[in-house]
């Protein structure tokens, strides 16, 4: 039996959830002291 992947709506909902999570991470990082790792993390986000 074949398995179906996600529908477009499911995929977009998943992406939106991931974006919200990364925005939370960005807010946490911005509240930390400056460091080379902080700049890289913000760039990657």
pTM of the model: 0.70
Written as tens digits, the pLDDT of the chain (45 aa) is 677 789 999 999 999 999 999 999 999 999 989 988 899 999 999
| Nearest residue to 24 (alpha-carbon basis) of 1, 3, 8, 45 | 45
Distance CA 40, CA 30 (A): 12
The burial class, CB within 10 Å (0-12 / 13-18 / 19+), for 35 is exposed
Return the pLDDT at 1. 63
| Nearest residue to 41 (alpha-carbon basis) of 31, 18, 2, 3 | 31
């Amino acid at each position: 039996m074949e398995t179906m992947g996600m529908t477009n709506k499911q995929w977009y909902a998943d992406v939106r959830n991931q974006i919200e999570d990364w925005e939370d991470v960005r807010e946490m990082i911005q509240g930390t002291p400056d460091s080379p790792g902080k700049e890289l993390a913000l760039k990657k986000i």
